[in-house]
């Protein structure tokens, strides 16, 4: 144990530990109260250390932003390549679609032509059949069974008197 001087009252006292600065709690409380009353503004960190901290934060933020920018750039490039491939696929499908439209138009016109031809053929056959029946009746010649069967299937009975050709 050593004798020390109190920092508040300047009296000598025996310290029980090396770090003891005051002779009593009263002296310690007085000094603490005086410090509180005469509070000085908070010490600012050294300008040099603050500047280096800010510079380090700025560099870290720059690196982070550059990393995010590269990531966004890669993502944009991926999306652009997908868009290009989809655009080429759309162009291919449009070309195929126009070819199919042309093909459909040709087929529709062919079907219409065949229907007209078939309708004309049926009308011609009905007209010829009517002439055949009228000739057979005028000459008194009976029609063969196959011809009569064809007429019956078509709903025309040559034995009955009908005006004109049958409607099919």
pLDDT in tens, 154-166: 877 766 655 554 5
- What H or E segment, with its residue span, contains residue 130? helix 47-139
Give the distance, in angstroms, between the CA of residue 99 and the centroid of all CA atoms in the same chain: 28
Query: What are the start-end ranges of the E strands in the chain?
Result: 3-5, 12-14
Q: In the chain, what are the domain boundaries?
A: 1-38
Max avg pLDDT among 35-39, 76-80, 129-133: 76-80
Question: What average pLDDT does this structure show over 11-33?
Answer: 89
CA–CA distances in Å: residue 18 to residues 2, 29, 31: 8, 19, 19
pLDDT at 42: 65
Does pLDDT of 53 surpass 90?
no
């Amino acid at each position: 144990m050593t004798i020390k001087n109190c920092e508040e009252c300047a009296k000598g006292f025996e310290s029980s530990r090396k770090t003891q600065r005051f002779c009593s709690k009263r002296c310690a409380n007085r000094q603490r109260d005086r410090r509180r009353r005469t509070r000085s503004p908070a010490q600012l960190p050294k300008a040099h250390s603050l500047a280096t901290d800010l510079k380090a934060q700025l560099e870290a933020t720059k690196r982070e932003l550059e990393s995010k920018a590269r990531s966004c750039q890669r993502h944009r490039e991926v999306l652009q390549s997908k868009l290009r491939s989809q655009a080429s696929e759309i162009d291919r499908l449009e070309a195929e679609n126009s070819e199919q439209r042309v093909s459909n138009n040709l087929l529709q016109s062919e079907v219409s032509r065949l229907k007209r031809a078939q309708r004309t053929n049926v009308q011609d056959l009905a007209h010829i059949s009517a002439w055949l029946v009228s000739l057979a009746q005028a000459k008194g010649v009976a029609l063969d069974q196959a011809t009569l069967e064809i007429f019956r299937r078509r709903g025309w009975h040559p034995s009955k008197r009908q005006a004109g050709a049958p409607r099919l």
